[in-house]
Amino acid sequence: MKLGIFDSGAGGLSVLKSIIESRIFDSIIYYGDTARLPYGTKDPQSIINFSLEALDFFNSQKIDMLVVACNTASAHALKAMQSKSKIPIIGVIEPGIKALQNKITNQDARILILATKATIQSGQYQDRLKALGYKNLYAIAPSLFVPLVEENIFDGKILEEVMSFYFKPIDFIPDAIILGCTHFPLLANAISQYFQNKSILIHSGEAIVDFIKHKIPTQNTSTTTLKFFASSDVESLKKTARKWLDLPNYSFLKT
Amino acid sequence: MKLGIFDSGAGGLSVLKSIIESRIFDSIIYYGDTARLPYGTKDPQSIINFSLEALDFFNSQKIDMLVVACNTASAHALKAMQSKSKIPIIGVIEPGIKALQNKITNQDARILILATKATIQSGQYQDRLKALGYKNLYAIAPSLFVPLVEENIFDGKILEEVMSFYFKPIDFIPDAIILGCTHFPLLANAISQYFQNKSILIHSGEAIVDFIKHKIPTQNTSTTTLKFFASSDVESLKKTARKWLDLPNYSFLKT
């Protein structure tokens, strides 16, 4: 089966990695809208327009399924994309919510949602969790987290100050923290430590593999052909992919 | 006369403000490539492509002169734009260099260049200053400065830690600091204080008015018609413009 993965840039590579390791797909097309990243600080209509343009690209690639790895695009554009597509399109929010449901059954649990401004403003995580009965929801958009990760800052004083700045209103230990942006798992250790390693962290990207496995018949491919596309500077995306994926053998990394 | 101002987003509004106050132009068209900002972290060829697309837009607006307010676009795309245009196109780098020359005559002065990654990598500031005989040049790309400004952080502990992080290699007081990004003047106070208020700060944007005055006959317009365009979310750009420009009367702010 042939899968498409759409992200605003390189953040979705963590999702790609989980999916490769699951051995479900023998062919994967990754497309990053690197010319227009980041999405998380942009307005809803632009995010929808960008995502529909990406869908046009994937339609030309004859894929069997599309994963929207970007939380911001999932939050704002998933419905618009699904209404214009004949193949299944999966976002990262629903799998993230399902993963939380599996781990947190107490509906009084205090849940901290961390995501981009655009994702938080969409209300997607909050509305879905409320509909499931969760009562104590706290949503924060730590906008500096993405540029910190891009600057390879994963610990240290700057990150500590930045966390204090955003987490000031949270004067308790959350029972669960949703890492609602593909960049945030790279700060998981620091975020966890900030809350004394007592919170359960939910990675939306990791959750997607379980979600897909419930949708399609189990496969066990021996190799996966990868192809990378980007709206600008695809070479830089490939370079990041080689570094991030950290796979034992790159011979199948066709480009 | 009708002027065009091109920026990757809202940063060029500081340049727009200086130009409005100069009363040289009776009509100004501002275009921000808000769909694809920021430029400073992107690759040279993309920056050139984006800038040439902006030039196409300005060609349809029948302007007499174009100012590239964005340092990154000035650094990478100015020549390409000039070669495809019949009207004069002015970047912010040359005016910034001229302003420094007026203030710093000692060629042994220690000059710190602060700009985006893409601008620093272009070597434009460094090469031009070297050609003028300046010997002691230090170039730093403090990538977190732009997101800090976007997050309205202009002082405090986070900024102090971020400055310590980037300025670590500078164990002396620079004689001059070039603020080579439209966002950086908003951190001017903090940067100046970091270096004990002993450095001369050069704002490339402010320098451009003097530069234009040498190029065209003096005018003294009574009103300026402003029009704003953006590649996405023009309403948000207009809102920011109303806030940043802080002009006494917005009745002329036609949109």
How do the pLDDT tens digits run along chain A, 255 residues long?
Answer: 999 999 999 999 989 998 998 889 999 999 999 999 999 999 999 999 999 999 999 999 999 999 999 999 999 999 999 999 999 999 999 999 999 999 999 999 999 999 999 999 999 999 999 999 999 999 999 999 999 999 999 999 999 999 999 999 999 999 999 999 999 999 999 999 999 999 999 997 788 998 998 888 777 888 889 999 999 999 999 988 888 787 654 434 433
Tokens 């600091």 -> residue: B177
What are the C-alpha distances in Å from A85 to residues A6, A58, A95, B64? Answer: 14, 10, 20, 46
What are the C-alpha distances in Å from A161 to residues A152, A187, A207, A252? Answer: 16, 14, 30, 42
Of A181, A212, A226, A237, the active-site residue reads: A181
The annotation status of B194 as a binding-site residue, yes or no, is no
Q: Do the domains B2-91+207-254 and B94-203 sit in the same CATH topology, yes or no?
A: yes
Mean pLDDT of B232-241: 92
Chain A: closest CA distance from residue B117 (Å): 11
* Phi and psi, residue A115, nearest 5°: -160, 175
State yes or no: is A210 an active-site residue. no
**pLDDT at B253 (0 to 100):** 41
Give the chain A residue whose CA is nearest to the CA of B44.
A233
**pLDDT digit string, tens, across residues A244-254:** 787 654 434 43
State yes or no: is B226 an active-site residue. no
State whether B233 and A45 contact (CB < 8 Å). yes
**pLDDT at B248 (0 to 100):** 53
Contacts of A161 in chain B (CB under 8 A): 157-158, 161
Residue B188 region by backbone torsions, left for phi larger than 0, else alpha for psi between -120 and 50, else beta: alpha
Mean pLDDT of B156-174: 97
Alpha-carbon gap, residue A100 to A81, rounded angstroms: 25
Give the chain A residue whose CA is nearest to the CA of B151.
A143
The annotation status of B7 as a binding-site residue, yes or no, is yes
Taking the model in full, what pTM does it have? 0.94
Contacts of B34 in chain A (CB under 8 A): 42, 46
Mean pLDDT of chain B: 93
Cβ pairs bridging A and B (under 8 Å): 65
**pLDDT digit string, tens, across residues A70-121:** 999 999 999 999 999 999 999 999 999 999 999 999 999 999 999 999 999 9
**pLDDT at B205 (0 to 100):** 75
- Give the closest of B49, B143, B158 to A162, CB-based: B158
Which of B145, B162, B235 is the best substitution to test chain A (most A C-beta atoms within 10 A)?
B162
Tell whether the model's pLDDT for residue B222 goes beyond 90.
Answer: no
The annotation status of B236 as a binding-site residue, yes or no, is no
- Give the closest of A34, A36, A157 to B35, CB-based: A36
Q: Which residues are CB-contacts of B5 (< 8 A; sequence separation ≥ 6)?
A: B12, B15, B16, B19, B28, B29, B30, B31, B66, B67, B69
The annotation status of A39 as a binding-site residue, yes or no, is yes
> Band of the pLDDT at B252, cuts 50, 70, 90?
very low
- In chain B, where the domains are located: 2-91+207-254, 94-203
Give the DSSP letter string of B2-64: EEEEEESSSTTHHHHHHHHHHT--SEEEEEE-TTT---TTS-HHHHHHHHHHHHHHHHTTT-S
Q: Record the tokens describing residue A83, joined without a space.
A: 């209404």
Model ipTM value: 0.93
**pLDDT at A250 (0 to 100):** 41
Alpha-carbon gap, residue B24 to B21, rounded angstroms: 8
Q: Which class is A2-91+207-254 in CATH?
A: alpha beta
3-state DSSP call for residue A2? strand
Which of B148, B152, B157 is the best substitution to test chain A (most A C-beta atoms within 10 A)?
B157
Chain B: closest CA distance from residue A63 (Å): 27
> Band of the pLDDT at B103, cuts 50, 70, 90?
very high
Alpha-carbon gap, residue B103 to A41, rounded angstroms: 38
**pLDDT at B251 (0 to 100):** 37
What are the C-alpha distances in Å from A89 to residues A5, A69, B2? Answer: 10, 11, 48
* Phi and psi, residue B63, nearest 5°: -90, 160
CA A253 to centroid of chain Cα atoms = 22
Interface residues of A toward B, Cβ cutoff 8 Å, are 34-36, 41-43, 45-46, 49-50, 143-144, 146-148, 150-151, 157-158, 161-162, 164-165, 232-233, 236
Chain A: closest CA distance from residue B8 (Å): 11
Give the DSSP letter string of A191-223: HHHHTTT-SEEEEHHHHHHHHHHHHS-----S-
Best CA proximity match to A41, nearest among A131, A143, A122: A143
Residue B139 near residue B115, CB atoms below 8 Å: yes
Of B70, B81, B163, B226, the active-site residue reads: B70
**pLDDT at A21 (0 to 100):** 87
Alpha-carbon gap, residue A238 to B64, rounded angstroms: 42
Identify the burial level of B78 via C-beta atoms within 10 angstroms of its C-beta, where 0-12 means exposed, 13-18 middle and 19 or more buried: buried
Contacts of B50 in chain A (CB under 8 A): 35
> Band of the pLDDT at B63, cuts 50, 70, 90?
very high
Give the chain A residue whose CA is nearest to the CA of B144.
A147
Tell whether the model's pLDDT for residue B227 goes beyond 50.
Answer: yes
Q: When comparing pLDDT for A255 and B136, which is higher?
A: B136
Q: Which class is B94-203 in CATH?
A: alpha beta
